[in-house]
Amino acid sequence: LIDAIESLAEGFALYDRNDCLVLANSRYRQMHAISADVLVPGVNWFDFLRVTAERNQFPVPRDKIDDWLAERARDRREFRQQEFRHTDGRWFFVSNCPTREGGFVVTRVDITERKRAEEAAKEADELVRKVLEACPVNIQMTRAHDGKLLYRSPATVELLGDVTSAVDYYVDLSERRRYVERLLATGLVDDFETQLKRKDGGTCWCSISSRLIDYHGEKVIVSHAYDLTDRIEMQQELERQRETLHQNEKMSALGGLLAGVAHELNNPLSVVLGLSSLLKETAADAKV
């Protein structure tokens, strides 16, 4: 049994009903390297913990050591699992388990790498959150089967309002059904144009591009809705300008036609007027 305990990858220590150490394996001593010199059979658990705190193994202020020990005293004879950080940055998962003889067993597992991975993931998540919060593009994460919004960026709320379901965005619900059916069939949709409800109570045409992902075992839609209002207004303005240009060209052509007609009319009229003047002069000379 002693050999089995010694071969454990976890730290292991057994304390008796008087809170005195019975045995501890090498791994347990390594985890308490700063205070290993006092970790000998017979040492009282509280005395040992006080040494660890006084030697700054745990980040406990000196004026709080007694309070810290009192809190730990409540743990020793109840089954409890906690995470503790050492001053050197290492993390340990500690379990206290009472024995039938009135003592207790302490096991310690080094979870430093796991905590570092969790911290790195947390920092990455925080970075993504900050990027999304600062991004002027509206982005949504929606549960595919019921439309529940899992995330929407501030730009989305600014355009479409603060709702809990993407279903509430759509003017025509049959359009959403058609959009989701296409997305579920192919895994992606680009430039799906539909009319959505705006935050201000109006409506706008939007172009939606989406990708289907698996998130915690559920099909989730990650999408971006591009507001087409400016593009539509530009197209309408171009149409107005095109119509104006067309009208101007028609008027210009009509003006050219009238000028040509006037020129053609002026030539025979000039001859008639000239002959009329000549006849008038001739008639005057002949006293006609």
Digit-coded pLDDT (tens) for 161-196 = 999 999 999 999 999 999 999 999 999 999 999 999
Q: Tell me the CATH class for 135-227.
A: alpha beta
SS3 content of the chain, % helix, strand, coil (to 5): 50, 25, 25
Query: How crowded is residue 184: how many other Cβ atoms within 10 Å of its Cβ?
Result: 14
**Domain boundaries along the sequence of the chain:** 2-111, 135-227
Closest Cα partner for 111 from 137, 135, 81? Answer: 81
CATH for the stretch 2-111: 3.30.450.20
Residue 56: strand, helix, or coil: coil
Do the beta carbons of residue 89 and residue 57 sit within 8 Å?
A: no
Query: What pLDDT sits at residue 288?
Result: 47
Characterise 158 by phi-psi region: left (phi > 0), alpha (psi -120 to 50), beta (else): alpha
Question: pLDDT truncated to tens, each residue of the chain (288 aa)?
Answer: 788 889 899 999 999 999 999 999 999 999 999 999 999 999 999 999 999 999 999 889 999 999 988 888 877 767 889 999 999 999 999 999 999 999 999 999 999 999 999 999 999 989 988 988 888 888 999 999 999 999 999 999 999 999 999 999 999 999 999 999 999 999 999 999 999 999 999 999 999 999 999 998 999 999 999 999 888 778 777 778 777 777 766 777 666 666 665 555 566 655 555 556 656 666 555 454
- Is 229 in contact with 205 (CB distance < 8 Å)? yes
Which amino acid is located at 137 in the chain? Answer: V
Helix-helix angle 45-54:65-73, to 10 degrees? 150
> pTM for the whole thing?
0.59
Output DSSP code: residue 160.
Answer: H
Number of Cα atoms under 13 Å in the Cβ half of residue 31 = 25
Q: How far apart are the first and last CA of the chain?
A: 157
pLDDT tens digits along 235-256: 777 778 777 777 766 777 666 6
